[in-house]
Structure 1
């Protein structure tokens, strides 16, 4: 599973901290932790505008509770290293696709979680990349933070999510993010995940 996190200018530094802390808390949720431990390989990708994608945490096998706790702590403490610019979701998907090509295992399922608060407005269009990934059996799910764009789910549904059993969840504010992330991860842990 690639956790692909929006670091664009629409996400303030305080909001970025809420995303990081909320993801870490959701990963440590007992139901989520039980579902991920022993079956998953996770990576963390931070993205923003064109040419602004960075792997924050390389592929990490979650073989134990300690592995998951260490990964979650890394998420919680992730620095914001990409330039806080535009929103290039297509390029984020391409970076995730490249990352999936480097998985140190033969995956049974491949999931990319695109987490953001705005529609793509830079770089290549996400739709064709999404279609290419979906055709390869990759699932792209979304978590839409609606505080600035109340209709963001429509954009994600049309351009971002795709592949087997794809879905998106929403939260109205960053304060609701932890619960939305927990719900999304709980829904995803039906089988071995990369």
Structure 2
């Protein structure tokens, strides 16, 4: 009866009919949500920013607000994993899938994140991060009422193939993608950054039922942004609409037919390479 009611609730927030969910595994652990955190560690980010990210997620996961929303869930626990990513073949599992249903669970997860801090890696392949992330849901030992990828990043895709086909393949599996665009200016890769990275993420990266973007424009607000994002993802809610803010124009931003050019990162990379090569 519990399983039937859980599946009924899941249908209310199911992905579009085209999405194909994995078949139910009777040997898996049922959770409210399977949440994969994909965290950008490309070299455009400074060592300080990399540490802020790890500590920010650790702080958010152990906060009363996040633990309360986990406890208020239908089943009262979630499955979560933390992966750092950069270029096409640069995905680093910091914490594989684990259950969080208590403060002790959250603190153990957080301890893994802050026990050491890794260095950055080259390039930015959102497409590869999404594809490898989707594979992590397969046979992970959990059955969630929802499956969510939470991806952060400080620039557009510039490696590993276009981002839109990768995004669409993930959405076809019934996985929702939310975004945390990092629109700060501390790192070294200003030539790769977009002034309107939140719009790039909205048009080119996120998707699925209830998907949303929460931009970070100052590292001082990172932990609170992550906390808010986790609460919404775990509870299955979306943020209130934010007022539009002005955006400065960016190289090759708009396509001829209107909308956002989702290949802007690849074009910036090609422009940089053409100017760099003798």
Provide the TM-score with structure 2 as the length reference.
0.65
- Asked whether the equivalents of residues 50 and 117 of structure 2 are also in contact (C-alpha less than 8 Å), the reply is no
> Of 30, 47, 52, which aligns to 2:90?
52
Name which of structure 1's ranges 141-150 and 176-185 shifts more when overlaid on structure 2: 141-150
CA contact (8 A) 1:144 1:168 kept: yes
Does residue 26 (structure 1) correspond to residue 60 (structure 2)? The answer is: yes
Higher mean displacement: 4-13 or 70-79: 70-79
Which of these two proteins has the greater Rg computed from alpha carbons?
2
Tell me what 1:7 maps to: 41
| Residue number in structure 2 paired with 1:118 | 155
Change (3 A) 1:78 1:137: farther
Give the aligned partner of residue 171 of structure 2: 134
Q: CA–CA distance in 1 between the matches of 2:166 and 2:115?
A: 30
Q: Which runs of 5+ in 2 are unaligned?
A: 1-34, 186-193, 237-278
2:50 matched to 1:16? yes
Which of 68, 91, 99 aligns to 2:106? It is 68
Matching residue of 1:93:
130
Give the aligned CA root-mean-square deviation in angstroms: 1.5
Aligned to 1:171: 216
Give the drift of 1:170. Answer: 0.7
Equivalent residues of 2:38, 2:83 under 8 A apart: yes
Looking at structure 1, the residues matched to 207 and 116 of structure 2 have their Cα atoms a distance apart, in angstroms, of: 27
In structure 1, C-alpha distance between the alignment counterparts of 2:159 and 2:114, rounded to whole Å: 27
Contact 1:93 1:130 in 2 (8 A): yes
Contact 1:5 1:114 in 2 (8 A): yes
Conserved? CA contact 1:26–1:178, under 8 Å:
yes
2:200 match: secondary structure: helix
State the alpha-carbon separation in 2 of the partners of residues 2 and 78 from structure 1: 20
What secondary structure is seen at the aligned counterpart in 2 of 1:114?
strand
* Between 179-188 and 142-151, the greater mean CA deviation after superposition: 142-151
SS at match of 2:96: strand
Q: How far does residue 102 in structure 1 lie from its aligned partner after superposition?
A: 3.0
Q: Give CA deviations for 1:59-107 in whole Å, capped at 9, x if unaligned.
A: 10113220111112212335326x5211000000011111111321222
